[in-house]
Structure 1
Amino acid sequence: MLEILQQSAISAGRAILDIYNAGPEVTYKPDCSPVTDADACAERIILADLARAFPGVPVVAEEAVAAGFVPDIAGKSFFLVDPLDGTKEFIGRHDDFTVNIALIENGAPVAGVVYAPALRILYAAYQGKAVKTVIDETFRLDDETVIGCRSCGDRMVGLASRSHNSAETIAYLAEHGIADYRAVGSSLKFCLLAEGLADVYPRFSRTMEWDTAAGDAILRAAGGETLTMDGAPLTYGKRNQKDDSDFANPWFVSRGKP
């Protein structure tokens, strides 16, 4: 399975880079969030790959959901896809945008791929193992390394969203004595925790499940965790929520080894 997800993410990333270099066409959704032709192109590639390899598994994909297509996932394993996470970074020509593909079983992310095409780095997790792989100039997997969260020392390093930071996030970092933090785009924040380069990522602004699932899968496989504000693990497949839309996440805190 993992090889299929990796190759699909790489193929989508290759198409994204072509548009990145040529200059994307930007439009806006009803919620005023930007979307580009790269989002649509990458999603088509991933959906075709998943349909061919896993014909019986539903796929919840960001742009398809925006267009009103939501498959039946009740009682089923399913994929979550964000074809281009960090669209604002992509438009602003920052390199920290990613392709996210995750497999959800019983509400938990059990496999995931996060590919940063501009950085030529791919993170992946499956069966409790997290890895980081360099992608060479011919778009092949090269130099794979097993990764894991670090034990937190006296001086914690925090992560915050580059484009969606909030006063609550800054307050959380201050309350926990975390003066050293980096602003990073996309799901790479989860991967930096999984790699042992940071300790905590508080998120007190809106995210959707496709934004977080793949990175969360990698973090969990690396020994970390993502908890909601009541201390429960973040779950996936949230439908018919009383106070929010389908697949919307509550606030959460992701961290390396407790």
Structure 2
Amino acid sequence: MFKANSFVDVLKHLAVMAAIVAVLVIGFFYVYLPTTTNHGETISVPRIEGMQLADAEELLEDQNLRYFINDSTYKQDQKPFEILTQDPAPGAKVKENRKIYISINMKNPPMIKMPNLIDGSVKNAELILKSYELKKGEITYVPDLQENAVLKQFVNGKEVKPGGLVPKGAVVDLHVGNGLGNTEFEVPEVIGMPVDEASVLLVGQGLQIGNIIYVQGSNEPTGTVLKQRPFAEVGAKIRVGEFVDLWVAGEEPIQGIE
């Protein structure tokens, strides 16, 4: 134990203690820490984006780095367990044992709720499917008065109701109305009628007027229907929404002149 007999001895003791502390501080920060933490030594982060997880794990281990999966998603056009992003970026300088945060591509797609496409147009269905990351598949037109309207939606051949679960990225097939309907009836006979009356009759039965061909030199009064297609034969059937072409006696009226 030091014994101070004078003020000078006290100063000497304090100087010795300060020197000891200085040696300890210098030894800790400039000798011990650099040797235990590889002070000043860095590693360049390799590019692991696009690699398979197993291959990236081996590469990082060889370079004394670690990884941590902080996110996962599903991309149909990329392989399962493919690394999508990394942080820090390739080329960044880090210390040994640094953790690299990555996101990977899932093996199986997540299940999502099927959107409601029913009664909407095909164009609208395409936009909705894209927003849900689903794909438009085959379009089948079926008899229905709702022209171009989606009637049913299918995944893998099975009808899926709105709200049903389907895999993300699934292909959705659609049944769409053709605007004609499924009800058949006998073709109405309009030959010999004035063209305006024939048009009213046909439209009233849910049919559409197709081409009107004017025929000169007929003995029938001008505006009389001479011929029709389809023909009003025995057993001939027609569906709602279909067209009927008419041949009419006389010259074609000039537009804008009564």
Alignment TM-score > 0.5, same fold: no
Normalising by structure 1, what TM-score?
A: 0.18
TM-score (norm 2): 0.18
Structure ranking higher on relative contact order (CA contacts 8 Å, 6+ apart): 1
